Amino acid sequence: MDERVREHAEVLVDWSARVEAGDDVVVSVAEGAHELGVAVAEALGERGATVTTVYGSSELSRAYLKGVEAGTDGDVDAGDFDSDPAVDRALFEAADAYLRIGGGRNTTATADVDRSTRQAYAKARQGVREARMDTDWVSTVHPTRSLAQQAGMAYEEYRDFVYDAVLRDWESLADEMARLKAILDAGEEVRIVTERDGAPDTDVTMSIAGRTAVNSAASVAYDSHNLPSGEVFTAPYDTAGEVFFDVPMTIDATRVRNVHLVFEDGAVVDFAAGAGEDALASVLDTDPGARRLGELGVGMNRGIDRVTDSILFDEKMGDTVHLAVGRAYDACLPDGESGTESAVHVDMIADVSERSSVTVDGEVVQRDGVFRWEDGFER
Amino acid sequence: MDERVREHAEVLVDWSARVEAGDDVVVSVAEGAHELGVAVAEALGERGATVTTVYGSSELSRAYLKGVEAGTDGDVDAGDFDSDPAVDRALFEAADAYLRIGGGRNTTATADVDRSTRQAYAKARQGVREARMDTDWVSTVHPTRSLAQQAGMAYEEYRDFVYDAVLRDWESLADEMARLKAILDAGEEVRIVTERDGAPDTDVTMSIAGRTAVNSAASVAYDSHNLPSGEVFTAPYDTAGEVFFDVPMTIDATRVRNVHLVFEDGAVVDFAAGAGEDALASVLDTDPGARRLGELGVGMNRGIDRVTDSILFDEKMGDTVHLAVGRAYDACLPDGESGTESAVHVDMIADVSERSSVTVDGEVVQRDGVFRWEDGFER
């Protein structure tokens, strides 16, 4: 076994999930994630935890949903599923931690299941999802050929990429991210400016007054549930100006490139995309919240240095910022206050490594990819 | 997908487990059993059941137990495991049915885990095992290359073998087995006689008075939990005489051949084996019950026509009988009465297809592999 698989397991169990002796841990292993599953099982045994392993197979999910379609008139709604599935609920209610190890053999394994069937299933599973979120859950991926293919990379190359992203000095990154969190927590207005040849410029401002930033350091101890992580995010409002997102993305299986959004009074009033504009329009038309920002995130994981068409990695890429239209995270909101509400949350990413600045209350925090506290920062 | 995989899934879900709409079903999928897992998930979706899939990986089990060994002083006892693991207990208590799909990639995947560790784990898991047994559980296997290898067969050949064994007319076999069950339920004494060239003869009698035979027809509706099945078994006592078992077997990873047992007053008083005699001796010396019979079984699945070194198949082979030393099954005993008690239950199989007879209360039931109710039976 590649020693990095073992290290990945240790980061997941110790840094991310903070597993202790006696914890009851549910591990979900995707079809291609056997090897990391083995390393995680060994680490959990060593820590004195109890482990139950779930098989997170997309092909089994597809088969089950196809079976439901065949067993009904084919017109599936949420009522065709048990909204309180006893086993899954019991499983997560009894669990202290849930470790989801993604990494399938085909990222489009459920492509031929009707969208309405998938949505009905997701709706019926809301209670199970909540029980799962109540555990110390962490989501990671084992590098598979299928994910390498999605990233447009060779397998060996993709493995190096994943381990560079996952095997960080998390303690030190958490300390660095704490600096940005402190600035955002105290700040009232963020302005992002970029200049580019042959593309619209970005110049956008948003309010963050009263909002709390999350130091997403890949650990439940930081309210962070992704491995890798490495971003600081908050919930902005009152957005005005325009943004150009130059990092490609996939929305509902459609490739979307070069998104341009124009905001007035907090809402998107105009938009365009170099590719996939229909998919973008469909997102923005979901509900009123889908035209407002739910998130401003600053990617600070410099182990991630390229786009791989996986939001788990892309949004944490060093020297990028991302804005999400749609739902805001509760963790960023004052108690009892609600932020943007929406059925969607779609992240869009902009490169800020060159000819860019991120400013909080008039003070530049990051210029051309260099933070205020780093060598080479120009005021 | 081979159509037989789908048929296997349907037999498992409908005939064996009797799954109905609304049932909560736990499916355990071994490392090599993905394909049958897919077919079972589809069938469960079609029936309107809810499914939770557990990953039954021997390599993960090995890794976990190796981790426990590393995390303790290496001298593992049952106290090193949680004797009431919350997740697994909750899982099985909430489940209506449990479908275990075996079929790994290496039948010796846990060979380097200390035997004492495995025993300690099994002991700590007693409660979980009982919760699992309280569901409508069924155990089957998907044909894998690893199992083909254990059987000494080519992969294609082994698949044909498994589907011949599994895809029976179970209704009709159950009816036929009911005839033998009626004879055994009413009978008081069984005598088995075989004559062979160059090998000890078998001539053994045992009492079955007051005992109830199980018609093991591969369905929870018949108190039968294996697919394939196809045997009628009961719990004999007061055994006398000698038996020669000509079907090879594996006891605790040791190949055992040509076992010869001599019984007096219900207990083994002398024994020999052509190979693996030490392993046999170790079984017989486990406890006093290990020298007494716990089971007499008559194999009636003629889809199984050869030995594959897997007790799931071997003991159901048509034209064989098997005797187990050790523990008797409660289902065969009158309420409140106990049969042979022992920590072991080891089946040994004899071919009765030639120069043999099985007699109940002086009347021949099967001669040379032909039952009383079959064409060609000679009284």
**Domain C-terminal end among A124, A139, A166:** A166
Q: Say if residue B47 is in the same domain as residue B88.
A: yes
Mean pLDDT across A163-186: 97
Minimum-distance CB partner of A60 among B24, B37, B70: B37
Put simply, the answer to whether A50 touches B88 (Cβ < 8 Å) is yes
Q: Cα separation of B248 and A326, whole Å?
A: 67
Question: What local confidence, expressed as pLDDT, does residue A197 receive?
Answer: 77
Q: Which residues in chain A have their CB less than 8 angstroms from residue B106's CB? A: none
SS3 content of chain A, % helix, strand, coil (to 5): 35, 30, 35
Alpha-carbon gap: A27 to the closest alpha carbon of chain B (Å): 10
pLDDT band of B115, cuts 50, 70, 90: confident
Decide the pairing of beta strands A237-245 and A202-207.
Answer: antiparallel
Minimum-distance CB partner of B42 among A41, A45, A66: A66
pLDDT in tens, A248-269: 998 877 899 999 999 999 999 9
Q: Single out the residue of A244, A265, A235, A194 nearest to residue A337, CA to CA.
A: A235
pLDDT band of A352, cuts 50, 70, 90: very high
**Domain C-terminal end among B149, B166, B183:** B166
pLDDT in tens, B159-213: 999 999 999 999 999 999 999 999 999 999 999 999 987 777 899 999 999 999 9
Put simply, the answer to whether B22 touches A59 (Cβ < 8 Å) is no
Q: Say if residue B77 is in the same domain as residue B100.
A: yes
Q: Is B376 among the domain residues?
A: no
If you search the block for the tokens 């009413």, which residue do you land on? Answer: B186
Q: Say if residue B316 is in the same domain as residue B362.
A: yes
Q: Say if residue B367 is in the same domain as residue B319.
A: yes
Alpha-carbon gap: B254 to the closest alpha carbon of chain A (Å): 28
Q: Is A379 among the domain residues?
A: no
Q: Say if residue A123 is in the same domain as residue A205.
A: no
CB A9 within 8 A of CB B64: no
Q: Is B267 among the domain residues?
A: yes
Alpha-carbon gap: A311 to the closest alpha carbon of chain B (Å): 26
Q: Single out the residue of A24, A126, A135 nearest to residue A85, CA to CA.
A: A126
Q: Which residues in chain B have their CB less than 8 angstroms from residue A68's CB? A: 45-46, 48
pTM greater than the 0.95 cutoff:
no
pLDDT in tens, B268-279: 999 999 999 999
Q: Say if residue B226 is in the same domain as residue B308.
A: yes
Mean pLDDT across B108-112: 92
Q: Is A310 among the domain residues?
A: yes
Put simply, the answer to whether A67 touches B44 (Cβ < 8 Å) is yes
Alpha-carbon gap: A308 to the closest alpha carbon of chain B (Å): 28
Q: Cα separation of A195 and B250, whole Å?
A: 74
CB B208 within 8 A of CB B190: yes
Q: Cα separation of B263 and B209, whole Å?
A: 18
Q: What's the complex ipTM?
A: 0.90
Left (φ > 0), alpha (ψ -120 to 50) or beta: where does A113 sit? beta
Instruction: Answer yes or no: is pLDDT of A343 > 80.
Output: yes
Q: Single out the residue of A38, A25, A30, A123 nearest to residue A83, CA to CA.
A: A123
Q: Say if residue A151 is in the same domain as residue A179.
A: no
Q: Is B377 among the domain residues?
A: no
Q: Which residues in chain B have their CB less than 8 angstroms from residue A59's CB? A: 34, 38
Alpha-carbon gap: B143 to the closest alpha carbon of chain A (Å): 18
**Domain C-terminal end among B166, B191, B208:** B166
pLDDT band of A204, cuts 50, 70, 90: very high
Q: Say if residue B154 is in the same domain as residue B199.
A: no
If you search the block for the tokens 């490139």, which residue do you land on? Answer: A257
CB B311 within 8 A of CB B242: no
**Which residues lie below 8 Å from residue B31, measured CB to CB, with a gap of 6+?**
A34, B56, B57, B58, B59, B103, B104, B105
Q: Cα separation of A109 and A112, whole Å?
A: 8
pLDDT in tens, B332-369: 999 888 899 998 999 999 999 999 999 999 999 999 99
Question: What local confidence, expressed as pLDDT, does residue A52 receive?
Answer: 98
Q: Which residue of B has its CA nearest to A80?
A: B48
CB A310 within 8 A of CB A317: no
Q: Say if residue B136 is in the same domain as residue B90.
A: yes
pLDDT band of A349, cuts 50, 70, 90: very high
CB A324 within 8 A of CB A348: yes
Mean pLDDT across B256-283: 96
What one-letter code names the amino acid at B291?
R
CATH assignment at residue B137:
3.40.1830.10
CB B351 within 8 A of CB B246: yes
Q: How many structural domains compose chain B?
A: 2
Let me know how many helices (H) and strands (E) chain A has, helices first: 11, 19
Q: Say if residue A35 is in the same domain as residue A103.
A: yes
E strand or H helix that includes residue A276: none
Q: Is A323 among the domain residues?
A: yes
* Partners of B207 in the β-ladder: B189, B237
Q: Is A32 among the domain residues?
A: yes
Per the structure, the complete domain to which residue B258 belongs is given by: 170-371
CB B47 within 8 A of CB B22: no
Q: Say if residue B141 is in the same domain as residue B28.
A: yes
* Partners of B325 in the β-ladder: B293, B346
Q: Which residues in chain B have their CB less than 8 angstroms from residue A71's CB? A: 45-48
Q: Say if residue B161 is in the same domain as residue B176.
A: no
Minimum-distance CB partner of A71 among B29, B48, B95: B48
CB A30 within 8 A of CB B50: no
Structure tokens at A162: 């994943």
CB A95 within 8 A of CB A54: no
Put simply, the answer to whether A67 touches B31 (Cβ < 8 Å) is no
Mean pLDDT across B122-138: 92
Q: Which residues in chain B have their CB less than 8 angstroms from residue A94's CB? A: 86-87, 89-91
Put simply, the answer to whether B88 touches A29 (Cβ < 8 Å) is no
Q: Is A64 among the domain residues?
A: yes
What angle, 0 to 180 degrees and rounded to 10, lies between the N-to-C axes of helices A115-124 and A126-133?
Answer: 60
Q: Is B6 helix (H, G, I), strand (E, B) or coil?
A: helix
Q: Single out the residue of A10, A120, A14 nearest to residue A65, CA to CA.
A: A120
